[in-house]
Amino acid sequence: MRSALDRFAPLQTRTRRCGKTENRWLSTTAREAKRRRRRLERRYAKSRSSTDRRAYRGACRAANRVIREALSSYIRRQVDEAAASSPRLLWQTVGRLLHPSSNDNWFDGMATAALADGFSAFFMDKVCLLKFAVSSVQFSSPRLTWC
């Protein structure tokens, strides 16, 4: 039984990033600074020279400064826009900015009925394949042992 499972339904692992995904607030200069920092980091990792390290560390400081400024500007803009509308919208915006992942679901934006149908079809196909595989396997002993 285990060999049939391993053959027709092998264990597969998936990796899902769990980091911050919202980076709409990054300005183009912040993105360029991050690219430059990463490029200099790769150069320093290859050469290990003190000159490349100084350039990399300088790029780190510059990128961090630009990223902080971009985030600060984004937050300020969001709060100013919300404050101009209504107090309720202001508090909703502040809550969203302080707790960005509190209501995020991995299936946001997907039709949940279509998602459920997709899961159902996937597992029904798996079960049918397993039934077929198990029925076609000849066992040497009449009793199965489940280990």
Does the pTM surpass 0.75? The reply is no
Rounded mean pLDDT for each run of 10 residues along the chain, 147 residues in total: 70 67 82 96 96 96 96 91 90 85 60 82 89 75 52
∠ CA 116-131-122, rounded to 5°: 20
pLDDT of 50 reads: 95
Question: Can you give the pLDDT at residue 22?
Answer: 65
Token reading at 109: 């934006």
Is there a contact between 79 and 93 (Cβ–Cβ < 8 Å)? yes
Q: Where are the domains of the chain?
A: 23-103+111-136
Largest Cα–Cα separation, the chain = 78
pLDDT value, residue 61: 97
The alpha carbon of 78 is separated from its chain's Cα centroid by a whole number of angstroms, namely 24
pLDDT at site 1: 61
